Structures are given as C-alpha cells and as structure tokens.
Amino acid sequence: MRRCRGGSREAFEIFVNKYMKDAYFIALGLVGNREDALDLSQEAFVRAYRNIKQVKPGRGFFPWFYQILKNLCISHLRKRKHRQAGSLDVEGCPEPAASADDFSPDAVADKDELKKEIWMAIDKLEPKHREVIVLRHFRNMSYEQIAEALFCNKGTVTSRLYYARKRLQELLSTEKGGGASGL
Amino acid sequence: MVCDDYKDLLMGYLDNELSAEQRRRFEEHLAGCSDCTAELEEFKKLKAITDEFSLAEPEDRIWQDYWGGVYNRIERGIGWIMFSVAGIALAIYCGFKAIEELIKDPGIEITLKIGLLALIAGLAILFVSILRERLYFWKRDRYKDVRM
C-alpha cells in the first residue's frame, strides 16, 4: 500500500489482479449486464489509482475501493433510469434501481428457468438489499467483511440480509405462484 | 412471524456465523418456538436455491487483458490532463498576443478594435460562467463522493 500511495503502477497492478474478480462480479450483481460491469469495475480501479492517497494508513484497500465501485454503479443506474424515463427529475429518484429489462440473462451461469427467475428477482430488490445479497451470495463474504465494506455494524448486515431474503422469497413466490420452487 | 429478538440470530444460524454460545441459545429458542422453526425452514429452502446460483464466468482473455485495460485508462487520463493544461496555456498565451497585436496595430479602426475586444471578452465571460456552473453541479452530485 505504501508503494501504491507513492504512485507505483506495479504495486497497484497487484491490487488490481487481487480484486478484479470481486470488482467485476459485484458490479455485475449491481448493474446486471456484463459489458457495463467490466467497464465500471475498470473505471473504479482508475479512480482508486488517482485517489489512492485518500486511503487512511492502517485501513484496508477493499472497503475503500468498494465505496468507489458502488458509487459508480449507483450513478450508472441513475443515468440509465433517467435515459429510460426521459426525465430530468433528479430529486425524484433517491434510490435508483435497474428495471427488470436491464438484468441480462446472459450473466447467469446456468440457463435453467429457476436461475433466471432468481436473477430477475434480485434485480427487483432495493439497492441496499441487492447489495448484501451480492456480497454474501456472489462473493461469499463473511458478515464481518460485509460490515467493513458497508461501513456499518454486523447487526445492520444481518438485519438487511433478513429483509433482503424475505423480499426475495416473496418475489420468487409471486413468480412461481407460490408453488413450484417450494417457497 | 419470527420473534424479533432472534431475527439476527436466525440469519447468523443460517449462514453459520454464530459463536458456539449464540448457536446454543438459538437452538434452545428454536426447540420452543414453532414460528422461528418454520421460518428457518423457509430460509433454508431459499438458501439452497441461491447457493446453487452462480454468475457466468467471462472468457479468460477478459482477466488476461484486465490490467491492460485499467493501465490504458490511467495513461490516457494523464495524457488528457497534460493535453488540456498545455492547450489552455497556449490558448491564453496566443489570446493575449493577439489582443496585444490588435491594440498596437494602427491600421485597424478603433471601432473594429472595440468590437473584437468585446467579442473576446464575451467569449471569456461565457466560458467562465459555464465552467462555474459545471463546478456548482459537480459539487452537489450526491454520488461523486467516496465515503472514507
């Protein structure tokens, strides 16, 4: 980190190689399509490189980097939503979220219907709920790591996970008419 | 409905994030609470489904070229900054020289001189105004800040 703060690109490359998969899959979970996820995750690394001196000594790189990535994804979703709505009402959408059509089915590894339904249900979650699902399920992060990345305590993480999963259950039950998935 | 006090423990139990003591306490509660037991079963079903879910891995070349993409953007950013700074400095220098020549040239009528100077001044005011407006909105962009 000291060499990174000094502007060493070689040192920064080590961080990029270590976190590129996390960055890509988190972005994919938040914005829903592969091209945007690649573009946003790379842009987040560029911004991190330019602002690396802001990382306080003794603090980890990833939680700080995650804030950059998340903010970029939220800005991207907000712009996309405005483009779709054709509206300039910035204040009217404090919680931007992609619409169902934005989550590309190509992003899902298995092509069976249930997996696609889960993906579409994740798309419909509120951003703060989608975020914890992405970090927990797509990146297998522990509660402690999630809390560190979100700058909150573990209680908030468990609470958000509870409501996120509740909502996911509801959405999947609705999709399935409360039957086939057993939910 | 799950008992509110045990909601956090329920999630921790499901994700194997509880200490031995918390686990024992929650299991004791489960033994006497059919609502929490039922809710736990529902969550287990959901977890079984979501655990099987995975996102598609991109092609290997994406990872091989990843750092190259980041590096090019960093380099390009530095290039643009240098180009912009040099461009603005040159434009200001040439602008001053042109104004100086214009004022000193006895062959140009005074009315034309005033007109041209007013045109340049107007352009400068417009440029500063747009720049200030951009800065104003950029400062108020809720998503630009990186929380530390």
> What pLDDT digit, counting tens, does each position of B50-88 carry?
888 888 888 889 999 999 999 999 988 888 889 999 998
Test mutation, A4, A30, A115, A140, chain B, max B CBs within 10 A: A115
Tell me the residue type at A115.
Answer: K
CB pair distance less than 8 Å for A143 and B69? no
- Distance from CA of residue A25 to its chain's centroid? 8
The average confidence (pLDDT) of chain A is 81
CB pair distance less than 8 Å for A49 and B146? no
pLDDT for A94: 39
Q: In CATH, what class is A1-93?
A: mainly alpha
B19, A144 in Cβ contact below 8 A?
Answer: no
Q: What is the DSSP letter of A138?
A: I
Give the containing element (helix H, strand E) for A122.
helix A113-123
Confidence of residue B43 (pLDDT cuts 50, 70, 90): very high
CB pair distance less than 8 Å for A165 and B51? no
Tell me the residue type at A125.
Answer: L
pLDDT above 60 for B144: no
Residue B41's domain comprises 4-52
On whether any CB of chain A is under 8 Å from the CB of B66, the answer is: yes
Reported as a single tens digit per residue, the pLDDT across A26-45 is 999 898 888 999 999 999 99
Q: What value, to the nearest 5°, has the Cα angle with vertex A150 and ends B48 and A169?
A: 30
Q: What are B2-5's contacts with CB under 8 Å, separation 24+?
A: B2/B35, B2/B36, B2/B39, B3/B29, B3/B33, B3/B35, B3/B36
In chain B, % of residues over pLDDT 70: 93
The average confidence (pLDDT) of chain B is 86
Residue B9 within a domain: yes
Query: B20-31 and B34-52 helices cross at what angle (nearest 10)?
Result: 120
Number of domains in chain B: 1
Q: Do domains A1-93 and A108-183 have the same CATH topology?
A: no
Mind spelling out the 3-state secondary structure of A147-164?
HHHHCCCHHHHHHHHHHH
- Chain B residue with CA closest to A108: the answer is B55
* Mean pLDDT to the nearest integer, B8-20: 91
Q: Tell the CATH topology of A108-183.
A: Arc Repressor Mutant, subunit A (1.10.10)
Choose the closest CB to A16 out of B47, B50, B70.
Answer: B70
**From the CB of residue A146, how many other CB atoms can be counted at a distance below 10 Å?**
24
Please give the backbone phi and psi of residue A59, each rounded to the nearest 5 degrees, phi first.
Answer: -100, 150
In chain A, % of residues over pLDDT 90: 37
How far B66 CA sits from the closest chain A CA (Å)? Answer: 8
pLDDT for A24: 94
On whether any CB of chain A is under 8 Å from the CB of B144, the answer is: yes
Reported as a single tens digit per residue, the pLDDT across A41-57 is 999 999 999 888 888 77
Q: What is the DSSP letter of A88?
A: -
pLDDT for A32: 86
Residues of chain A contacting residue B15, judged by C-beta atoms under 8 Å apart? 136, 143, 161
pLDDT for B78: 84
Domain ranges of chain A: 1-93, 108-183
Residue B20 within a domain: yes
Tell me the residue type at A96.
Answer: P
CB pair distance less than 8 Å for A137 and B51? yes
* Mean pLDDT to the nearest integer, B86-97: 90
Reported as a single tens digit per residue, the pLDDT across A152-183 is 898 899 999 999 999 999 998 876 654 444 55
Choose the closest CB to A168 out of B8, B46, B69.
Answer: B46
